[in-house]
Amino acid sequence: MSDSTQPTKNRWLIAIMGTALQLCLGTVYAWSVFQKPLMKTYGWSNTQAMWIFSLAICFLGLAAAWGGINLPKFGPRKLAMAGGFLFGLGYFIASAALYYHNLPLLYLGYGVIGGIGLGLGYVTPVATAAKWFPDKKGFVTGMVVMGFGLGALLMSKLFAPYLLNTFQDDLVKVFAALGGIFMVCAMFVGLFIVNPPAGYSPPGWQPPTQSAQAQQVENLTYGTCEFACSGKFIMMWLIFFCNIAAGIAIIGFQSPLLQTLYNKMDPTIPAAILAAYGGTLVGITSLFNGIGRFFWGGVSDKIGRVQTFRVMLVTQIAVFAGLAFVQHPIAFSIMLCYVLLCYGGGFGTMPSFVLDVFGAKMMPRVYGFILTAWSVAGIVGPQITAVITDRLKDDPDPLKASQYSFFAGMTLLIIGLIISLVVSNSKFIPCSLREKKA
């Protein structure tokens, strides 16, 4: 049975399964739970350990770009199941790498292979759900990607604590178990990710009235170079990049940062309690990451896509400025929750932004390519923080490194805000249509 001749036309079931797939994949955002244990057990630096996470995000974006182009060829079910298989395989290879204390193999397994699985699995349900819900684009794409944001909650408060306790902190066994769990679960839910039938329209829904030219754009197919080299795409890419890089710079370090604040406030707090505080923060912020995708996606349906990005960017600039100076753990946690709300909001808003600007036919390809911003941000953001942390590790002020990191994030957000002021929600008109009009 092909992807386009699915046995069910229950679009909400497909949206729910797409969300479940994202929930499995989004566990990558709980990387900070493993950052300190890996450094302690294997003697790796912040930068070395963070490259594992950075590579996973980098190859997520690259694989998503390839997946967006090839989604019509292979269909969403095959790509979703392939993504689930590779994501689980990445954990298995990572387990072997830890057994042999082989950092390059860990980069290959979790970073490259697992990252490719993430990309194939991520782009598929988002692009597919958008086809099933032309009447609720922002709401449903926000709902689907919400699962990715909530994945860290699943990992930090369920899988990681249970498996670390069960296997007595043996990371080799923990990673192997996670590989089996995610391979089975992700491949199963991937079976349900299918395209709607040709010409599908939700019952009782009428497409909004558009100009003749806008209707042409909606169903037009054109070359990758034509959109990728356009000023509109480049500016959207840069806005997305700045929002992601600022947030992801601290996602992988939020647990260690909170532990530093608590330790400075009370040096007598046991390490196990500090780790528990850090894990709780990861779980709470992942909840806001997930809610932000859902919330801001819905907001963008009301006020417009680029207007939503402007609100998220300008408010985060103020919060990052505050984070650079706050020293109370609770205040730090609250402000970080808002950053993650807006970080997730970028992922909840961008799919419908792409759909509005480039049309339904081009959405998988353009969205896949715009996710390369995530690839670059996944390297730039965490590595900025990792390098600053390593270079200032002997500084008498343990908070100086985080302060510099927040200033760097604030700079990125200011750049993104400036670019957002010259972008609109209008349709992209390819050269072929411009020539005909002329």
Q: Residue 199 has what pLDDT? A: 77
- In this predicted structure, the answer to whether residue 398 has a pLDDT above a threshold of 80 is no
DSSP 29: G
Give CA separation, 373 vs 45, 318, 366, 376, in Å. Answer: 26, 23, 12, 5
Q: What does the alpha-carbon distance between residue 112 and residue 60 come to, in Å, rounded to a whole number?
A: 8
As a dihedral over the C-alpha atoms of residue 294, residue 71, residue 62, residue 185, rounded to 10 degrees, the angle is 60
DSSP assigned state of 182 = H
Note the pLDDT tens digit of each residue in 72-86. Answer: 899 999 999 999 999
Of 71-85, 236-250, 382-396, the poorest mean pLDDT is in 382-396
Secondary structure class of 307 (helix, strand, coil): helix
Residue 218's pLDDT band, with cuts at 50, 70 and 90, is low
Contacts of 180 (CB under 8 A, 6+ apart): 88, 92
Tokens of 118: 């993430």
Q: Is the pLDDT of residue 35 over 60?
A: yes
**Percent of the chain, pLDDT > 70?**
93
| The two structure tokens encoding residue 82 | 């392939």
Q: Which CATH code, of 3.30.413.10, 3.40.50.1100, 1.20.1250.20, 3.40.50.720, is assigned to 12-197+212-437?
A: 1.20.1250.20
Angle between helices 231-251 and 363-370 (to 10 degrees): 50
**Separation of alpha carbons 382 and 102, rounded Å:** 22
Give pTM, 2 decimals.
Answer: 0.81
**Per-residue pLDDT tens digits for 302-336:** 999 999 999 999 999 999 999 989 888 999 999 99
pLDDT at 9: 59
Residue whose C-alpha is closest to residue 157's, from 2, 283, 330: 283
Q: How many CB atoms lie within 10 A of CB 261?
A: 22
> Angle, to 10 degrees, between the axis of helix 400-420 and the axis of helix 372-391?
150
pLDDT digits (tens, 9 = 90+) for 18-32: 999 999 999 998 887
CA 400 – CA 252 distance, rounded (Å): 18
Residue 412 has pLDDT above 90, yes or no: yes
Confidence of residue 7 (pLDDT cuts 50, 70, 90): very low
- The 10s digit of each residue's pLDDT in 193-202 is 999 988 788 8
Give the pLDDT score at 5: 42
Q: What is the pLDDT of residue 436?
A: 56
Question: What's the per-residue H, E or C state across 115-143?
Answer: HHHHHHHHHHHHHHHHHHCCCCHHHHHHH
Q: If you search the block for the tokens 């699943």, which residue do you land on?
A: 154
Q: What is the pLDDT of residue 6?
A: 42
Distance CA 118, CA 90 (A): 10
The token pair at 212 is 């003749």
Average pLDDT of the segment spanning 376-396: 86
